[in-house]
Amino acid sequence: MAKQHASPPSPLSELPAVDIPLMQPPIEGDLEKADGGIGVSHTMRPLVVHIDRPDSTPEGTHFELIWGGGTPVAFNLIREGDENLARIPFTVPSDSIREAWADPVYVQVIRSNANPSRTRPLRLRVNLQHPGGQDPNPAPGNQGLVFELPDDVRLGGVSADRARQGVEVIVRHWLNMAAYDLLILVWGSVRIERLIQPSEVGLDIKCILDEEAIKEAGDSDLLPVAFQVRGPTGNYPDPWAPWSTTALVSVYLETDRVDAPWVQTPETDREIDLEILGTRDVQIGMTVGGADARVYSHIFLYWNGVNAEGSSVSYFEDRQLAGAKGYFFNINNALVSAIAQGSVVVYYELKGAGVPDKRSHNRYLTVIGEIVRWPAPTVDQALGDDLDPGLPLITIRFPAQASWASTDRVQVTILASDTDGTVDYTAGRLVGQVTPDGQMTFDVAGNELRRFDGRLIDVFYSVTRDNELPQESLRRVYQVHMPVELPVPKLIQATGSGASVSLASMNAQTGATVSVEYKPMYTTDSIKVTMVGSAGAGSPNIDAKPGLASGVVMFDIPKAAIAANIGNANKTFTLEYEVTREGVKRGSTKLTVTVTPIPQAELLKTVIQINEANQTTRVLDLSTGTANRKLRVGTWPFIATDSPVWIEFKGFKTGGGHTT
């Protein structure tokens, strides 16, 4: 079959280009003129891309996504209910994301009563390789990323004289090295970036640290030096070993900086192990001498953390000095856990009126431990994993994280991805002031939810800080549909579980209680319980009740209804309920209750006697008179006023014959 090629879009009909999340931006000086890069991160989940909704696209307008070929790979259309839709989503099939190019990438808009139009085409570089490849062993650092320091620096450190000469670092070429890889070398708190040119692929790379950079990082007995590589499409090295092995260099420039702060809790000079830390906060200590305490009025602590994905997690605190002594600052445990497998630079500054600020040396720390993803959000109105599309509103809820700043932007997303028609919803705002309960909520109108009717949806949130890449939570999956049945009611006095239970008659002598439990339950719900048993009293009418905010409503079954369903052998009755919400009725699963007879031992406890008979000999002497005799019957289980009672009297005549 001949290979098909897409016709280039007409410049006269161009619309804004497809918006691809996390796409690497164009690289300055790129000889191959890529408009962007597609990397490993785009294959971790279904890739959903968007275009702004063009003008004149009424209901029924079709859209086709072309991804590096002539055949559309995804489709969408304007449906009923999309009147306010501003962006059109498409899901790129995973098998369409292939190296080395996706060219062209565009969307064609097909209108029923107008000429088609197309978005501006994109030429995208696709690289799905990790720089350095997979780390071959569990030793610290990525063994595929190797660098060398000068011998005199490695053995003797860096003095002020040595710093004036600069330090040359040789980075050995790495597996999967590619043009426009970004080499990132860190010397303490100083970061040097070097873009690899096409002519340098396969060669070792030299990086020079000048005196200014060395002074900026400052003195340290254990100054960390390491590097990593970010590929041209945003790929980082092996996620389990994103950095090279770290070299520790002694730097002694004899600057006027004061000593670096130390880690009081946990006791460590270099590494914070989250497992050892447990739930404790990290405590940072420093000493302010008498001379400084007389001149300076405030102390400022800076905790500049970077997580494993390169995003900043920082903390700042200032205090008024209260004399020469030790000062201690607590770093919230959540802030430390947020940079698992990352690093942090800690220092402090002394400030006062009319004097220059005095800065400490840096304390360089790495954080060891498992990366904990933010928890998935929940939907208040969900019934288990189900969401009713008829709900007037839903509330997405999730806990705010200690690492978020008030100026960070948080966004919630509802996504149903499908190459034949993706549906999504997003809403965002600044984190702002978090409520005392630590929860963040977003309300989504019912008309937005109905767009997902019949689909599985992912619900998640993401947070973006400044120009950093967004960080995303775990996802929660719901099915948007009308559940066939509500949960089975519960009979409190019964034993067993599920849709069939047993009721011992003696456990319900005063009646029974039905518990109706489901979520979401609204106070506007009307709940009607139906009991079907023996005709008449055994199938009573139970008045409807409104729902309660607690999600649990109790209904009483009268004693007479239970009694009417008791026999000499097992008998059954059923319980079910119906919920009416905004005119729509939904029924529950039916509960079948088996009622056991009153035990014979209980019935034998009922006293039967003739008052005029001798209670010892049990003889009734009829010769003592002709007046009527009284038969007395004691109480029995489920006795009730106006309940019929049958009495059978048997005896023997003088001649031996029976009488009844």
Q: For residue 78, what is the domain's CATH number?
A: 2.60.40
Backbone torsions φ then ψ of 123, nearest 5 degrees? -110, 110
Angstrom distance (rounded) from CA 235 to CA 229:
8
Pair (273, 246) in one structural domain:
no
Angstrom distance (rounded) from CA 297 to CA 289:
13
Name which of 157-171, 247-261, 430-444 the model is least confident about: 247-261
Angstrom distance (rounded) from CA 452 to CA 430:
26
Angstrom distance (rounded) from CA 460 to CA 392:
21
- Any residues with CB less than 8 A from the CB of 128 and at least 6 apart, and which? 39, 40, 43, 97, 99, 233, 235
pLDDT digits (tens, 9 = 90+) for 181-229: 999 999 999 999 999 999 999 999 999 999 999 999 989 888 999 999 9
The token pair that represents 2 in the structure block: 């001949």
Pair (519, 416) in one structural domain:
no
The token pair that represents 426 in the structure block: 């997003």
The token pair that represents 612 in the structure block: 């005029």
Angstrom distance (rounded) from CA 193 to CA 376:
35
- Positive or negative CA dihedral for 35, 40, 44, 46? positive
- Residue 14 near residue 53, CB atoms below 8 Å: no
Pair (462, 529) in one structural domain:
no
Residues 25/428/76/86 CA torsion (nearest 10 deg):
-100
Q: Is residue 290 part of a domain?
A: yes
Identity of residue 351: K
Pair (206, 171) in one structural domain:
yes
Q: Is residue 653 part of a domain?
A: no
Neighbouring C-beta atoms of residue 327, cutoff 10 Å: 16
Exposure string for 20-55, b = 16+ CB within 10 A, e = fewer:
bebbbeebeeeeeebbbbbbbbbeeebbbbbbebbe
Angstrom distance (rounded) from CA 343 to CA 7:
49
Question: Three-state DSSP class for 309?
Answer: coil
Q: Is residue 356 part of a domain?
A: yes
- For residue 452, pLDDT over 60 is answered with yes
- Residue 315 near residue 303, CB atoms below 8 Å: yes
Which domain range does residue 182 map to?
A: 147-252
Number of domains the chain is built from: 5
pLDDT at res. 1: 39
Which of 428, 450, 480 finishes a domain? 480
Q: Is residue 161 part of a domain?
A: yes
Pair (212, 289) in one structural domain:
no
Name which of 336-340, 351-355, 388-392, 406-410 the model is least confident about: 388-392
Q: Distances in Å between the alpha carbon of 18 and those of 35, 36, 100, 255?
A: 11, 11, 19, 53
Pair (475, 500) in one structural domain:
no
Angstrom distance (rounded) from CA 333 to CA 470:
22
Mean pLDDT along residues 232-247: 93
Identity of residue 273: D
Pair (472, 385) in one structural domain:
yes
Angstrom distance (rounded) from CA 412 to CA 458:
11
pLDDT digits (tens, 9 = 90+) for 564-609: 898 889 999 999 999 987 677 888 889 999 999 988 877 776 667 6
- For residue 312, pLDDT over 90 is answered with no
Pair (405, 328) in one structural domain:
no
pLDDT digits (tens, 9 = 90+) for 378-394: 999 887 788 888 888 99
Angstrom distance (rounded) from CA 452 to CA 546:
29
Angstrom distance (rounded) from CA 55 to CA 565:
69
Pair (356, 444) in one structural domain:
no
pLDDT at res. 634: 60
Q: Is residue 283 part of a domain?
A: yes
Exposure string for 598-636, b = 16+ CB within 10 A, e = fewer:
beeeeeeeeeeeeeeeeeeeeeeeeeeeeeeeeeeeeee
- For residue 628, pLDDT over 80 is answered with no
Distance of CA 436 to the CA centre of its chain: 20
Which of 429, 454, 480 finishes a domain? 480
Q: Is residue 217 part of a domain?
A: yes
Which of 308, 338, 368 finishes a domain? 368
- Residue 381 near residue 442, CB atoms below 8 Å: no
Angstrom distance (rounded) from CA 178 to CA 196:
8
Pair (17, 70) in one structural domain:
yes
CATH number at residue 576: 2.60.40.10
- Residue 91 near residue 417, CB atoms below 8 Å: yes
Mean pLDDT along residues 624-642: 68
Name which of 12-16, 33-37, 241-245, 269-273 the model is least confident about: 12-16
Question: Three-state DSSP class for 551?
Answer: coil
The token pair that represents 177 in the structure block: 């090295």
Pair (419, 470) in one structural domain:
yes
Angstrom distance (rounded) from CA 622 to CA 618:
13
Secondary structure letter of residue 12 according to DSSP: G
Residue from 57, 35, 46, 59 nearest 108 by CA = 57
Mean pLDDT along residues 8-26: 79
- Residue 21 near residue 49, CB atoms below 8 Å: yes
Question: Do β-strands 476-480 and 386-387 pair in parallel, antiparallel, or remain unpaired?
Answer: parallel
Q: Is residue 94 part of a domain?
A: yes
Pair (353, 276) in one structural domain:
yes
Q: Is residue 595 part of a domain?
A: yes
Backbone torsions φ then ψ of 527, nearest 5 degrees? -115, 125
